Structure 1
Amino acid sequence: MAELGFSEHHQNEVINYMRFARSKRALRLKTVDSCFQDLKDSRLVEETFTVDEVSDMLDGLQVVVHGEVESELIHTAHTNVLLLRQLFSQAEKFYLKLQTDVSELENRELLEQVAEFEKAEFTSSNKKANQDSNKPKLAPLNEGGVSELLNKQIFRLQDENEKLKARLRTIESQATSALDEKSKLERALKDLQRVQGDQKLALKNKEITNLEDTVSALRSDFQKTLNASTVTQKNLEENLVATKHDFLKVQEQLTMAEKELEKKFQQTAAYRNMKEMLTKKNDQIKEIRKRLSKYEPDE
């Protein structure tokens, strides 16, 4: 087994600290894994997503994971300070002045030696645990002190974290429902506009057909009159000119009728209600996203 050059007592103290650090690391990794699982359970409910939706989900996941990792790094730094505090307090009782070399914390050779020590120690820990299972265990000191308060604080934070996650899932579900309803309203509006467009096109085609029939009849009458008498040719030509003017006038009236029909369609209650519903849904989605952005930093 790898050794660090300590006495047996100090080596056992190092092993205890490594065991504490490993347990905290495992707990934080489970928390990070749960962040990804929560994203899968709450957001991945559809078959396809847009680029903006994927980007939004990844941004939210980044904020959560960043917060978890930052919290763990801060907690690790603080626990190391507390450990140094214990050592310095014990040294000061004997009027000793301990010194630290921060540059040694980046010593690759020493870091690899510690990693080898940890691997060797905890690889054989299961065997030691089986061997020591029959040995009597000492009762822990100060059972109701710092350890109990720490456990209560952990349970309280875990409970609060679960509540926040549940609230976040509820808000995300509401946002998803609002987006679905918005998509349905948009499709309904497009269908309504398509139906109105088909009706306008059919009316326009019918009027054009009637005008074509009228022009064909006028041309037929003009040809008969022209063949009957050359005296009335001038009058027929004038009639044809007048008819052409009427035709142009009818075309202008048709254009105005189309514009009026479009204006009336936009003034219908169905169009206004549909537009108002879309506007309200957009406002609701903005409000939900605004509320969601307030809870994600807390997460």
Structure 2
Amino acid sequence: MADFGFNEHHQSEIINYMRFARSKRLLRLKAIDSCFEELKDSRLVEDTYTVDEVREMLDGLQMVVRGEVEMELINTAHTNVLLLRQLFSQAEKFYLRLQSDVSELENRELLEQVAEFEKTDFKITNKLNQEASKLKLAPLNEGGVSELLNKEIAKLQEDNDKLKSRLRTLESQAMSALDEKAKLERTLKDVQRTQGEQKEINNLEDTVAALTEDYERSLSANKATQKELKESLITAKHELLRVQEQLALAEKELEKKFQQTAAYRNMKEILTKKNEQIKEIRKRLQKYEPDD
């Protein structure tokens, strides 16, 4: 017999699954054979066929066979998933975590061992397989390793309950601490708000005092400034009168000097002559155009 490292019970389970897989495989092969027989009976009724007719028949056969093979592959994959589900469910009852190595599924050496097992040991262990087919996967016995495992599980559950109780206590304490912290934070905020308001009042008082001092200082400065401005205004008026007087004297002096110049005397003589000429012309005009 091929040695997979299993005990007698698991060996029988493998045989049972291989029998199931073989029966499904044989059914699918019969379906494929029936596809060919149907083609022979329904289409191969003449002696000669054209190339197009042969191609059409082969294409139709290819589609049917492809569908059968694909259906079998999908069904096999789904069946394997259901088998793994049974194994994982039983393992989880004992808090076990099974692992699988997908790369080992293509190990040629192991695949050849399985094929050899199917050829030789499948028939020899047929009786054992019939007895095993009546059984279902069951938990381990209550003695030996199983008893120790159950005790360890019970101990872990007890420790887990204690930890849960401790966790609830810590959560309660943490919630109380959080509530107390929230109260302290609110109190601190109130104190800080009060201190801030008092500080603001003090700042306002200092500002008012500073403004009052500035106002008094500005008022004193304004009085002194008004006095200085008044004196400056009087001085400016006196200066203005003095300048106006000097300007008048300067104009008189300038006019006097201008009248003493030759140009002024010539201009005056010219204007005098012009005025006399204008008077003479008016007298002549009055002779010809007397006034109304």
TM-score range, shorter chain: 0.3 to 0.5
Query: Does 1 or 2 have the higher relative contact order (CA < 8 Å, sep 6+)?
Result: 1
User: TM-score scaled by structure 2?
Assistant: 0.43
